[in-house]
Amino acid sequence: MDKFNLILTIAIIIGLFSTYFLIIQKPLYVDEQAHFWTISNFCRFDYTIPDFLTTIPGYHFFGGFFGYLTSCTESAIRFFSLLVSFASVFVFYSICKQLNMKYKKEKSLQFLFLPILFPFFFLIYTDVLSVLFVLSMFYFLLREDYILSGTFGLLSFIVRQNNIIWIIFCLVYILIDLKDKKTFLEKIREIFSKRFLIKAYPYLAVLLIAFIFIIKNGGVVLGDKEKHPDLFFGPMNIYTFLFFFFWINLPENILNFKKIGSWFKRVEKKELGMIILLSLIFFTFFLMTFKIDHAYNDYGIYNYFLRNKILHFFNGSIILQSVFFLCILYSIFSLYRTKFAEKRHYLIYIFSIIFLGMSWLIENRYFLIPYIMINLFALREAKTEKTLAVWYLFGTIAYMYLFYTGWTFW
């Protein structure tokens, strides 16, 4: 490790621990109360699952075990989250190395300072452990250790059930890798071949376990089922993700302006007309489906959340809704002009749409894995990667100040 990297690593560690010592002085935030209540029971070997818990208590089991070995206090369990965060950064960096990413250090800094992720490094929430297990699943897939990959897939499922989408993603990711077969029939034969089934069976086993759980449980979530319906698909989380992408990745979107402009210049008039027509149809659909109707997105009750502040501000008039839509549309164009190393990396767009569309509650934490994977796969110039890392850092500092002073929470 050279001198600069050593200084940077020490600075990051000091920064993380300093933030941790500031955060532990604060009371439990929002869902932390429910999670800590469950973990504190698990510390005493009381495995009663409260009615309000929506997830399988995998996170609470690991947190309870850590609390049992140390002390079952708020600061100890928040420290558990910090340790999980260190592990997630290490795994992300290892994936970058496995994919031979040129700017793995910059990408890892983007992961570390991602504004919608960073606060949860210090809080008693399921999300960072969920991210760690999903990333570990993908890492061992790349290493072709499919049993370990499937094991982490199972762990990700028992932390957050909707991670079943990323287990399927890994299965399809392997399937798309069948490059040596040319015809459709040969690919079908390959799917049922022993060579492919050896790769696929750990994921298929996890999917079977998940299916049995869903049947036995009578749905995907454990508690609060009325607010988290199983058979739901809507566009609001997709819209909000794209809106946040515009601002969180603003430097990249600005730098992509020339690429988008040159692309428009190259397309024929008929194609340009079709793009404009589709954009107008999309705008009409957007106005018809822009609805903030989940109870937890009610600004009158939950005005502490930044996402609710933003959503209800832009819902104030058709002009503001149009501004919201233009951010979405530009993000789509920017993502379209973003290149990935492999064709199968573009699967992240399809699975992100499915993953986000399945949730009625508009929640920034649902954006984490789509955001992380898009940033991971994106092939960018050095200037863009470095600028994004710095932009994320300043964005996170600004947000953490607002968070620490009690103004808002994601």
Separation in Å, CA 167 to CA 111, 179, 190, 371: 21, 21, 20, 17
pLDDT value at residue 224: 84
pLDDT tens, position by position, 357-402: 999 999 999 999 999 999 999 999 999 999 999 999 999 999 999 9
pTM: 0.93
Domain that holds residue 137: 126-225
pLDDT tens, position by position, 92-129: 999 999 999 999 999 999 999 999 999 999 999 999 99
pLDDT value at residue 333: 95
Same domain flag for 357 and 272? yes
Same domain flag for 132 and 173? yes
Domains held by the chain: number: 2
Mean pLDDT confidence for 169-183: 76
Position 203 pLDDT exceeds 90: yes
Does residue 30 sit within a domain? no
Domain boundary among the residues 174, 202, 225 is at 225
Same domain flag for 218 and 286? no
Same domain flag for 311 and 241? yes
Mean pLDDT confidence for 324-329: 97
Same domain flag for 185 and 247? no
pLDDT value at residue 1: 58
Residue 3 or residue 164, greater confidence: 164
What single letter denotes the amino acid at residue 248? I
Q: How many residues does the chain have?
A: 410
Does residue 115 sit within a domain? no
Same domain flag for 138 and 210? yes
H-helix or E-strand spanning residue 149: helix 146-159
pLDDT value at residue 264: 84
Does residue 26 sit within a domain? no
Same domain flag for 268 and 292? yes
Share of the chain above pLDDT 90, in %: 75
Mean pLDDT confidence for 295-301: 88
What tokens appear for 355 in the block?
């993953």
Cβ partners under 8 Å of residue 116, min gap 6:
244, 248, 364, 365, 367, 368, 371, 410
Same domain flag for 236 and 361? yes
Position 195 pLDDT exceeds 90: no
Q: Is 305 helix (H, G, I), strand (E, B) or coil?
A: strand
Same domain flag for 131 and 200? yes
Residue whose C-alpha is closest to residue 93's, from 150, 139, 145: 139
